[in-house]
Chains A and B, each alone.
Chain A
Amino acid sequence: MSELISDLDGGGLSLPQKPVDTRHGILLYLEEVTVSFDGFKAIDNLSLYIGDGELRCIIGPNGAGKTTMMDIITGKTKPDSGRVFFGQNIDLLKLDEPAIARIGIGRKFQRPTVIEPLTVIENLELAMSGAKRLRGLMTTRLNSEERDRIAAVLERIGLSEHGGRLAGILAHGQKQWLEIGMLLMQEPRLLLVDEPVAGMTPAEMDRTAELLRSLAGSHSVVVVEHDMGFVRSIADYVTVLHQGRVLAEGQLEDLQIDPTVIEVYLGAGDAYH
């Protein structure tokens, strides 16, 4: 029982105390990662590096392995082989989902996932780093420092007016921003953002692009997105995934005239414009 509580308290064995080492300027390393489901190689010898503070877009047709890749980084899926490191020193394959979240990797799901019966502020409170220790959970109030942090994030995601509203009654786009805000409350080094603008109006897309761009630099941001217009508006460096591998990497303008990329996209129909 005491072991359980100490683990819940954040002092468990699986939680590395050392800070992430990014001396080489790389925050996330995926090297020769392979994972297969029932013989189907969802990820096939994938190698990918994300720089510290970089904003990277990942595109690719359905089944290219984008979501599986996120599952591997966040500990939901363990690969059959390969190495996944956070900085040079933290082996992500040795950690489970909560431990990976606590060392600074935040993940936004494709479908906006906020806790609907709770207010916007309560959602952010829930995500706050440092609040996850048992003693921190046994309180009913926010202290002033926590209130300031929440106010800052509310401002950043443009929901300052809506702090007391239930998350369930927010508009679709606002829910997406709230979820990004929850990620920010975790004070992550790396944000993994899965299709942030699906179902958004053009105005909402512009604000989201602005938000994600403002996060780069102080955070590394990996955005998986289908919407080419949106990708153009946020990232200059793009990775194209296809059949679990990196098909091409580079500036978006160069990729758009790359014959192999064009072939993959033309073959996949017109769902990606």
Chain B
Amino acid sequence: MLIPRWLLSDRAGLVLLAVLAILGIGVPILSLWTPPDHPLHLSAYTVTLLGKYLCYALLAVAVDLVWGYMGILSLGHAAFFALGGYCFGMYLMRQIGTRGVYGDPVLPDFMVFLNWKELPWYWYGFDHFSFALLMVLVVPGLLAFVFGWFAFRSRVSGVYLSIITQALTYALMLAFFRNEMGFGGNNGLTDFKDVLGYPIHDDGTRIVLFILSILALAGGYLLCRWLVSTRMGRVLVAIRDAEDRARFLGYRVEQVKVLVFTLSAMLAGIAGALYVPQVGIINPGEFAPINSIEAVIWVAVGGRGTLVGAVVGAVLINYAKSWLTGALPEVWLFALGGLFVAVTLLLPRGLIGLLRPRETTT
């Protein structure tokens, strides 16, 4: 059979994949092959904005995997997103070469400005695209693995774990703000010129990045959907709902948690790596605790433990954010908070819950 059964029974997922396919074909056509004055023409700005939403959606899927299925409320997932972004940003910085303000062939502008004479060791290798891609997975994955190893082994869970994840992202934010860290401090990494030789601001490059974002989201979704439909998925639910039961059935709960948490962090890293070339900047603000909390709200609004809900929530809330921060900037945080409260009280199963008949559980 062409479509495996685990996917065939996932109607909402098939709809999502169909929508992504339509976007993947439609957006390039409307952007590249329609004249700029055509009513359906999509500007480069719109394409970039859509691409950004897709990256957020992948981050939301990563959050839903650990929160919705395994019950780990991570309030620090934006850290993994930002680390993936920094890794790819470092590659983009090295591509600038002599075109920087100071024209140094090796050192990025901010290092010249700080009077640094040579590249710090941890910047080595980032001039290679493939090495940078590898690091996009390795750095967030390694951090998640080490963090999870200690936190889960010590059986830290529930609200305590959430607080530690929040502290993790906050600590990283403070560290990355420091110039001495060698990641551009306050300003972060920006002024990118090209990626793999293609000018980063070209319409064609933007379309390619957009299509890659679609593929990453579709791939990330399929991976998570497959995982939760296997026996492993049932183990995750058991850990979420009755951790001791899972343990006394013979499952090494801590190891499952570490593995899935690491996988989720890697997905978040990929999302961050695609985000940076599209928005053109990565700075320590991406580590801000509010970013991680927002990602959790996307998932809650869309419907946790559904994966599709995470995508829906991320896109809708970010669309609302784009619109509202333009129209009424001071209202946004109140609207977000109000929305979270309203969804928690009125729609505990999120927007996706409206579409699915309630299963009769007591």
Contacts and interface: CB of A to CB of B under 8 A. Distances in A.
A116 B241 contact: yes
A113 B251 contact: no
B250 A102 contact: yes
Contact of A8 (B244, B246, B256): B256
Interface in B31-65: none
Contacts of B232: 137-138
Contact of B248 (A1, A74, A129, A136): A74
B247 A98 contact: yes
Contact of A101 (B241, B249, B258, B259): B249
A166 B361 contact: yes
A182 interface: yes
Interface in A139-161: 139-140
Interface residues of B, number: 33
B245 A115 contact: yes
B276 interface: no
B230 A137 contact: yes
Given A7-B255, A115-B245, A140 B6 contact: yes
A140 B248 contact: no
Given A7-B252, A98-B252, A107-B248, A122 B234 contact: yes
Contacts of A113: 242, 244-245
Size category of the A interface is 35 or more
Contacts of B145: 1
Contact of B230 (A115, A118, A139, A166): A139
Contacts of A166: 359-361
A260 B241 CA distance: 43
A126 interface: yes
Contacts of B151: none
B235 interface: yes
Interface string A170-198: 00000000000010001000000000000
Contacts of B234: 115, 118, 122, 125-126
B231 A137 contact: yes
A115 B258 contact: no
B343 interface: no
Nearest to A8: B255
Nearest to B4: A140
Contacts of B259: 4, 8
A199 B34 CA distance: 71
A11 interface: no
Interface string B203-225: 00000000000000000000000
Contacts of B308: none
Contacts of A140: 4-6, 226, 229-231
Contacts of B226: 140
A132 interface: yes
Contacts of B66: none
Interface of B: 4-6, 145, 226, 229-232, 234-235, 237-238, 241-242, 244-253, 255-256, 258-259, 359-362
Given A137-B230, A168-B362, 7 more contacts: A98-B251, A109-B245, A125-B231, A127-B249, A132-B249, A140-B231, A182-B249
29 contacts: A7-B252, A8-B255, A8-B256, A97-B247, A98-B252, A101-B247, A102-B250, A106-B248, A114-B242, A117-B241, A118-B237, A118-B238, A125-B234, A126-B234, A126-B249, A129-B250, A132-B249, A137-B232, A137-B235, A138-B230, A138-B231, A138-B232, A139-B230, A139-B231, A140-B226, A140-B229, A140-B230, A168-B361, A169-B362
